[in-house]
Amino acid sequence: MTRPGEFELIEHYFRPLAADPGALSLTDDAAVYNPPRGEEVVLKADLIAEGIHFFPDDPPRSIAAKALRVNLSDLAAKGATPVGYLLSLALKPDWNEDWIASFAGGLAADQETYGVTLFGGDTSRASGGTVVSVAAIGRAPVGRIVRRNGARPGDAIFVSGTIGDAALGLRIRLGTLDAMPAGKAADHLLDRYLHPQPRVALAPVIADFATASLDISDGLVGDLAHICKQSGAGAEIAAAAVPLSAGAKAIVAADPSALATVMTGGDDYEILATVPEARAEAFATMAAEAGVPVTRIGRIVEGASPPVVLGPEGPIRFDHASHTHF
Amino acid sequence: MTRPGEFELIEHYFRPLAADPGALSLTDDAAVYNPPRGEEVVLKADLIAEGIHFFPDDPPRSIAAKALRVNLSDLAAKGATPVGYLLSLALKPDWNEDWIASFAGGLAADQETYGVTLFGGDTSRASGGTVVSVAAIGRAPVGRIVRRNGARPGDAIFVSGTIGDAALGLRIRLGTLDAMPAGKAADHLLDRYLHPQPRVALAPVIADFATASLDISDGLVGDLAHICKQSGAGAEIAAAAVPLSAGAKAIVAADPSALATVMTGGDDYEILATVPEARAEAFATMAAEAGVPVTRIGRIVEGASPPVVLGPEGPIRFDHASHTHF
C-alpha cells in the first residue's frame, strides 16, 4: 500500500481547511492570531484517544467532529466566540488515506457549521491507537469570560437541551443496560454519544446573563459540584426538573437505576449555567431566540457544599458524582 | 496500586505550574491571554508519541522537556517571545505517580529556564503508548513574525550551534552506526537527541535581522528546502562550512557515510536563518552577544530549486533530503 507522506497529507487534506490568513496556509512553523481591540484570546486544549474517548470503528468524520466539538463546547460555556483551532494528530500504524479523507471531511463540515478554521498543528505516527489533540482558539471581551466561580445564592440553575443522553448512548453501545431500547430511540441516544452538539449559538446569551457556566462533560452532578466548589456555594436541583429526551425517559421508567447514569454520566456537552433570579426569565427567552432550549432545574444556595439532588422522597445519593475519562 | 485521579493530579502536580493569572489556576474550562498592545498571539502545536519521538524508558523529565522544547524552538525561529503552553497528556495504562512527579519536575525546570508557564490542558488515558501534546503560546509585534518565505538571492545562510548531533545520537541509541563512539563524545550526542535546546535567546536577534527562519527539525537540507520553496529561491551551502561538534566530526571522519545523517537527519532544533549580506556580520555579532554561536554556511541564489550542498568535488547528493517523524 502506498500512503501519502506528511507533507502530501497536509497539502491535500489540511491546507484547504486553513482559510484564515493567520494560518499562513500551513506553510510555516506557527500561526498568528490578533484578537479585535478590547478582546483577548480564549484557549482550550482537549484530546481524544482511541479506545478511551472513541471506538476504533467510529466513522472518522465522527471522530474529527468529537475532537473539535468537545473544545468548542468549552468556549461556548465561557461565552467566548470560536475562531479556530490547532490540530495534532497521531495516527495508528495501520491508518489509510480513506480514513484521513473522511476525517478531513468531518472537519470541513464542522468548520462550516461553527465558523472556525484550521490554524495549524502537526501530523505524526502513534505506536498505539490514534490520538486527536485539539487546541481551540476563541475570543472574548478582556476579563469577561464566564467563569465557574461566579454563582451566588439565589441564582437560578439552568441546563440546555436534554441530560444523560450521551451516557445512555454509551451504555447502549457497551450493552450494559438491563432494558435495551431499540429503533429510533436507541439511534437518538447513540448519536448523542457519537456527535456532541456544542452550544455555540448560546455563547452570546451566556456572556450576557450567566454568573457561572461550564459544559457538562463529567456529568450533571459532578459538573455542578465544580461550580459549587469554585463559587463557595451549594446547589439544590430537582431530579424531576432535569430535562430528559423521550428515549431517556423510557429507559429510566423501565430501569430506575438508569437515573444515576443520567445524573452523573458524562459527554452531554450541554451547558450548565447560573443566572440571577431577576434575569432568569429573560435568559430563557433569549436562549430560545438563539435556538437553544434551556430548562430551569434548581437554585444556588448558601454554604459551600456539594449539590443536592431532590427526589420525591428527599435527597438522592449517587455512588459516583461524576464520570471522568481518566 | 492506588493512583491519584485526574483532579488530584491536576491539583498536586500541574496547578503549581500555572502561575499566570490567565491560567485561572486550572480551575476553569479555558485560559485567557491578552497580548500587549501592538502584539499578536503566535501559536504552535506539536505532539510527541512514545515509540515514535521518545523511548518508553526515557526519563519522564526528559520527555516533558522534549515536548515543550520542540514547540518553543518553533516560536524562537519565528522571532516570537514565548509566553506559555497548553498541555494535553494521554497516559498509557501502566502509568504511575512517580512518572508524573518526574514529568512535572521537568516542566517546572523548563518553565524557569524559558520563562513560560502552564495555561491549561487536560489529562486522560491512552489505550496505547503515552502521548504528550503541547500547544505553545507566544507573542510578536503584529505582522512581524519571521516567515519561511522571505529569503532573497544574495542573503547569507546561517545556522546556530552544531548540526547533526541529535540524528547521530539517535543512531547511537539505535546502534546503527558502523563505528560507535564511546565515552564523553557519545554522551554528548545522546544528550543532544534527548534534550533539544531551543534557541529562545536568539529569538530577538532573529526578529531584528532574519529575512527567513525556521528551526531544524526535519534535517538541514530538508528544512533549507522549505525556505527555498516558500521563498521561490535556491540555496548553496558548503558541506565543509556546516559546524560539527567534536563527536560528529570524529564519526564522519571514521565513516564518511555518516555525513548524510548530519546533513539530512532531524531533531537538531537549531535555527536556520537567512540574513541580508550587508547585515550578516552584525547578525553574527548580536547572536554571539545573545550567547548563541551562529555559523555562515552558504547563500541564497536565484531560481526556485532545492538547495545544493557543495563538497570538495562538486554537489553532493543525498538519498533522502529530510527526516520526518511520520
CATH code, domain carrying B47: 3.30.1330.10
On whether residue B147 sits in a domain, the answer given is no
Q: How far is A75 from chain B (nearest CA, A)?
A: 7
Q: Which of A141, A164, A185 represents a domain boundary (last residue)? A: A141
Which stretches of A38-179 are DSSP H helices? Answer: 60-77, 97-114, 165-174
Indicate whether B326 pLDDT > 80: no
Count the alpha carbons within 13 Å of B312 in the hemisphere toward its beta carbon: 1
Task: Dump pLDDT digits (tens) for A191-205.
Answer: 999 999 999 999 999
Task: Dump pLDDT digits (tens) for B239-266.
Answer: 999 999 999 999 999 988 899 999 999 8
Percentage of residues in chain A having pLDDT higher than 70? 98
Same domain assignment for residues B13 and B130:
yes
Q: How confident is the model at residue A321 (pLDDT cuts 50, 70, 90)?
A: low
On whether residue A326 sits in a domain, the answer given is no
**CB A49 to CB B127 under 8 A?**
yes
Same domain assignment for residues A39 and A109:
yes
Indicate whether A7 pLDDT > 90: no
Same domain assignment for residues A129 and A174:
no
Give the per-residue pLDDT at B242: 98
**CB B148 to CB A43 under 8 A?**
no
Task: Dump pLDDT digits (tens) for B275-290.
Answer: 999 999 999 999 999 9
Structural domain that includes position A298: 156-316
On whether residue A163 sits in a domain, the answer given is yes
Indicate whether B60 pLDDT > 60: yes
Same domain assignment for residues A73 and A132:
yes
On whether residue B326 sits in a domain, the answer given is no
**CB A131 to CB B42 under 8 A?**
no
**CB B135 to CB A35 under 8 A?**
no
Give the per-residue pLDDT at B37: 96
On whether residue B206 sits in a domain, the answer given is yes
For the residues A222-250, what does the mean pLDDT come to? 97
**B85: β partners:** B118, B136
Task: Find chain B residues with C-beta within 8 A of A121's C-beta.
Answer: 45-46
Q: How far is A226 from chain B (nearest CA, A)?
A: 9
Task: Dump pLDDT digits (tens) for B115-165.
Answer: 999 999 999 999 999 999 999 999 999 999 999 999 999 999 999 999 999
Interface ipTM: 0.95
Same domain assignment for residues B200 and B254:
yes
pTM over 0.90: yes
Task: Dump pLDDT digits (tens) for A58-80.
Answer: 999 999 999 999 999 999 999 99
Same domain assignment for residues B218 and B312:
yes
Q: How far is A313 from chain B (nearest CA, A)?
A: 32
Same domain assignment for residues A172 and A45:
no
For the residues B303-312, what does the mean pLDDT come to? 95
For the residues B17-24, what does the mean pLDDT come to? 97
Indicate whether B114 pLDDT > 90: yes
Task: Please give the residue of chain A at the shortest CA–CA distance from B122.
Answer: A46
CATH number of the domain encompassing residue B235? 3.90.650.10
Q: Which of A141, A173, A206 represents a domain boundary (last residue)? A: A141
Same domain assignment for residues B160 and B309:
yes
Percentage of residues in chain B having pLDDT higher than 90? 90
Same domain assignment for residues A235 and A124:
no
Closest CA to A185 of A266, A244, A141, A140: A244
Give the per-residue pLDDT at B179: 75
Element (H, E) at B79: none
Indicate whether B10 pLDDT > 70: yes
Q: Which of A81, A113, A141 represents a domain boundary (last residue)? A: A141
Same domain assignment for residues B75 and B107:
yes
On whether residue A124 sits in a domain, the answer given is yes
**CB B124 to CB A90 under 8 A?**
no
Distance, in Å, from the CA atom of A220 to the CA atom of A319, rounded to the nearest integer, reads 14
Neighbours of B144 (CB within 10 A): 16
On whether residue A15 sits in a domain, the answer given is yes
**CB B126 to CB A88 under 8 A?**
no
Contacts of B11 (CB under 8 A, 6+ apart): none
Q: Say how many domains are in chain B.
A: 2
Q: Which of A9, A10, A28 is the best residue to mutate to test the B interface, defined by the most B CB atoms within 10 Å of its own CB?
A: A28
Least confident segment among A170-184, B76-90, B91-105:
A170-184
Task: Find chain A residues with C-beta within 8 A of B87's C-beta.
Answer: 45
Distance, in Å, from the CA atom of A119 to the CA atom of B76, rounded to the nearest integer, reads 19
Same domain assignment for residues B163 and B130:
no
On whether residue B151 sits in a domain, the answer given is no
Same domain assignment for residues A34 and A79:
yes
Distance, in Å, from the CA atom of A30 to the CA atom of A48, rounded to the nearest integer, reads 23
Q: How confident is the model at residue B273 (pLDDT cuts 50, 70, 90)?
A: very high
Q: How confident is the model at residue A326 (pLDDT cuts 50, 70, 90)?
A: low
